[in-house]
């Protein structure tokens, strides 16, 4: 397992990665809560971007409705906690199962009946919108007036119930990001990862090599949905409030995919680099605007648009393949 | 000796066009069998029916004694029929090695042993030196050989080749011919090829089937077929006989 984890990683890249991880581990001792909060958002975007990348970057299936899996995961774990006192780590299993089942339904409908490309993307949007409207009327979880987790001043961190200060959430989200990264690395080097890439590159040719493309596309959507639901559970317990209009909204699905697109679709580091760039730069810009005494609503969205524009024009493969070349680390598809 | 591939009365209609019209033939194990005919004769349709892209309207196909007509392309490959595409379909962003590796993973689930198998195939197809290049960077002759390498990596009993010589210069054609006849001789690989390049057909095939307007008009040894009056009339032109 360990050998497989390190397989194909250049020495220099490995040293860089170890250094980065060491720095991230000590950050909470030196940084204030604001920096921690920004980094939590960075990890959250990197994690969800990585999960989305399994479907689009690896298997070539464009989902524009990934908010549905975040939302289902968030509501499932939150409802179990609020109504039945089930700890989030147990609720996680239910969250993953529900989101994965939803992914399986969408995947089955699309892949069995030959819905691909743009039409598949539209189907994913339709399901997310359906969920948004459905949850708006779902009284058991607060419907459109929102669903709230109990908030109190915690004297100590309760990891089991995910109640605590930003430092605890920081480490939880960092761990999730590292695990997702390692999982994707191993997957990409395994049979399923190669089969996904074959499907992404040319599905007809993939079938001619004996690949059951329906089955492998199902694996991709179920895994991606399950992984995304984990982020949803974190989202619920970190923000403590859930509104269908926000959680399931299409803008959430779009935000989720900007990181990997800007960082580099189909690469392992792309979602990380993209999340860091987008969140880091947009926070810095907000700070700058505040310092200048300016209040510009929508500045973040305009900024995202500009980032996307620059990357699409100048670096269509994303920032990471270019950066990897500059750093002299592993190949562009790592 | 029972045939590896037995095609019986295959027909396929696309709306008004009868693309393949009651074609039957048998391919003996370890042989090289060619299907020739003018453009639009139904060769590629026939090929796609065998490979599972289309189901035939009528007729049956048996491979190793088992009915396979109507099976999906991936099921047919898993049973031991490898194919290439007339318009090559490499996985462009992946390396030449990974292209072949994906083929090899059908029989070798473990990536390391699949990679070893891919290296053997790459060496045989004279692509080993280019294995780290992205497939999109290859020239057409190299892409044609990559098609063969990828199909061969699935360890087929029968290899279907759809115009792998088209667009190659004579020297490259001869190279491909020698690679294919080696594979046939050394491993007893059965090959069914669709080909326009008569130079290759004459050098490789033991038996030739000639299609015209979807129907078989002649079958026999290459020498006999090129002398057949109907074939000369419909396809080769009088000068080809010399």
Burial category of A26 from C-beta neighbours within 10 Å (exposed 0-12, middle 13-18, buried 19 and up):
exposed
CA distance A79 to B56: 54
Cβ atoms of residues A9 and A186 within 8 Å: no
Which residues of A fall within a CB distance of 8 Å from B77? 207-210
pLDDT the model gives residue B63: 96
CA distance A190 to A195: 9
Q: How far A6 CA sits from the closest chain B CA (Å)? A: 14
DSSP H stretches of helix in A189-212: 191-201, 203-208
Contact (CB<8Å) B111/A189: yes
pLDDT the model gives residue B236: 66
Question: Whole-prediction pTM value?
Answer: 0.92
Which among A197, A208, A212 has the least Cβ separation from residue B94? Answer: A197
pLDDT along chain A (334 residues), means of 10: 57 82 91 91 96 96 97 97 94 97 97 92 96 95 91 77 88 96 95 97 96 97 98 95 95 93 92 92 86 83 84 88 81 50
pLDDT the model gives residue A329: 74
pLDDT the model gives residue A4: 58
Q: Which residue of A lies nearest to B86 if distances are taken between CA atoms?
A: A205
Q: Which residue of A lies nearest to B153 if distances are taken between CA atoms?
A: A209
ipTM score above 0.90: yes
List the one residue out of A228, A175, A174, A181 whose CA is nearest residue A39.
A174
Instruction: Give the A:B interface size as CB pairs under 8 Å.
Output: 73
Cβ atoms of residues A67 and A250 within 8 Å: yes
| Number of Cβ within a 10 Å radius of residue B169 | 9
- Match 């480490």 to its residue by tokens: A171
Which residues of B fall within a CB distance of 8 Å from A209? 74, 77, 102-103, 106, 150-151, 154
Q: Which residue of A lies nearest to B77 if distances are taken between CA atoms?
A: A210
Q: Can you list the domains of chain B with their CATH numbers?
A: 5-90+156-241 (3.40.50.300)
Helix, strand, coil shares of chain B, percent, nearest 5, are 40, 25, 35
Whole-angstrom CA distances from A311 to A115, A194, A253 are 29, 27, 19
**Which residue numbers of A have CB closer than 8 Å to B's CBs?**
189-191, 194-195, 197-198, 201-202, 204-213, 266, 333
Contact (CB<8Å) A197/B111: no
List the one residue out of B45, B5, B33 whose CA is nearest residue B195.
B33
Which among A191, A202, A333 has the least Cβ separation from residue B89? Answer: A202
Write out residues in chain B with pLDDT < 70, as ranges.
1, 236-242
Q: Which residue of A lies nearest to B156 if distances are taken between CA atoms?
A: A209
Whole-angstrom CA distances from B30 to A38, B121, B150, B206, B207 are 66, 19, 20, 10, 12
Q: At residue A237, what are phi and psi to the nearest 5 degrees?
A: -80, -20
List the one residue out of B19, B18, B16, B20 whose CA is nearest residue B8.
B20
pLDDT the model gives residue A156: 77
Contact (CB<8Å) B102/A210: no
Average pLDDT, chain A: 90
Q: How far A16 CA sits from the closest chain B CA (Å)? A: 24
Contact (CB<8Å) A209/B106: yes
pLDDT digits (tens, 9 = 90+) for A278-324: 998 888 888 888 888 888 888 878 888 888 888 888 988 899 988 88
Cα B110 → chain centroid: 28
Contact (CB<8Å) A198/B102: yes
Which among B72, B92, B150 has the least Cβ separation from residue A209? Answer: B150
Mutate to test the interface with B, among A1, A189, A197, A208 (most CBs of B within 10 A): A208
List the one residue out of B222, B209, B217, B219 whose CA is nearest residue B233.
B217
């Amino acid at each position: 397992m360990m050998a497989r984890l390190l397989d194909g990683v250049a020495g220099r890249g490995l040293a860089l990665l170890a250094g980065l991880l060491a720095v991230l581990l000590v950050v909470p001792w030196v940084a204030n809560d604001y920096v921690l909060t920004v980094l939590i958002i960075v990890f959250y975007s990197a994690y969800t971007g990585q999960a989305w990348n399994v479907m689009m970057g690896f298997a070539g299936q464009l989902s524009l409705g990934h908010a549905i899996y975040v939302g289902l995961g968030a509501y499932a774990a939150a409802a179990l906690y609020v109504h039945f006192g089930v700890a989030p780590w147990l609720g996680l299993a239910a969250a993953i199962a529900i989101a994965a089942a939803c992914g399986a339904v969408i995947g089955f409908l699309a892949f069995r009946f030959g819905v691909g490309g743009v039409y598949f993307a539209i189907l994913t949007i339709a399901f997310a919108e359906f969920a948004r409207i459905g949850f708006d009327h779902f009284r058991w979880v607060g419907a459109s007036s929102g669903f709230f987790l109990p908030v109190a001043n915690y004297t100590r961190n309760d990891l089991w119930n995910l109640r605590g200060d930003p430092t605890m959430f920081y480490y939880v989200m960092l761990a999730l990001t590292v695990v997702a990264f390692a999982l994707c690395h191993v997957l990409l080097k395994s049979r399923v990862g190669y089969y996904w890439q074959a499907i992404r590159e040319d599905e007809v040719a993939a079938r001619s090599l004996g690949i059951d493309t329906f089955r492998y596309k199902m694996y991709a959507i179920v895994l991606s949905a399950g992984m995304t639901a984990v982020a949803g559970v974190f989202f619920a317990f970190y923000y403590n409030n859930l509104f269908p209009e926000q959680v399931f909204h299409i803008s959430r699905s779009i935000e989720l995919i900007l990181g990997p697109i800007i960082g580099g679709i189909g690469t392992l580091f792309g979602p990380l680099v993209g999340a860091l760039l987008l969140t880091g730069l947009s926070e810095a810009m907000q700070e700058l605007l505040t310092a200048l005494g300016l209040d510009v609503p929508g500045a973040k969205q305009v900024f995202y648009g500009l980032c996307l524009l620059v990357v699409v024009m100048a670096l269509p493969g994303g920032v990471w393949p270019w950066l990897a070349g500059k750093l002299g680390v592993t190949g562009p598809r790592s | 000796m029972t045939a590896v591939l037995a095609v019986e009365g295959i027909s396929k209609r696309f709306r008004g066009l009868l693309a393949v019209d009651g074609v039957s033939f048998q391919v003996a194990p370890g042989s090289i069998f060619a299907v020739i005919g003018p453009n639009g004769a139904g060769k590629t349709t026939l090929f796609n029916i065998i490979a599972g892209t289309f189901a035939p309207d009528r007729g049956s196909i048996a491979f190793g004694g088992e009915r396979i007509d109507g099976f999906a392309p991936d099921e047919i490959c898993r049973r031991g029929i490898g194919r290439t595409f007339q318009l090559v379909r490499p996985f462009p962003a992946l390396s030449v090695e990974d292209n072949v590796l994906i083929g090899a993973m059908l029989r070798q689930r473990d990536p390391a042993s699949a990679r070893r198998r891919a290296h053997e195939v790459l060496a045989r197809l004279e692509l080993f030196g280019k294995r780290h290049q992205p497939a999109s960077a290859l020239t057409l002759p190299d892409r044609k050989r990559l098609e063969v390498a990828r199909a061969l990596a699935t360890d087929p009993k029968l290899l279907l080749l759809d115009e792998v010589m088209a667009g190659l210069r004579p020297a490259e054609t001869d190279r491909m011919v020698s690679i294919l006849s080696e594979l046939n001789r050394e491993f007893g690989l059965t090959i069914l090829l669709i080909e326009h390049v008569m130079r290759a057909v004459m050098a490789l095939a033991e038996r030739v089937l000639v299609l015209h307007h979807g129907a078989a008009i002649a079958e026999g040894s290459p020498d006999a077929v090129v002398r057949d009056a109907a074939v000369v009339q419909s396809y080769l032109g009088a000068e080809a006989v010399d």
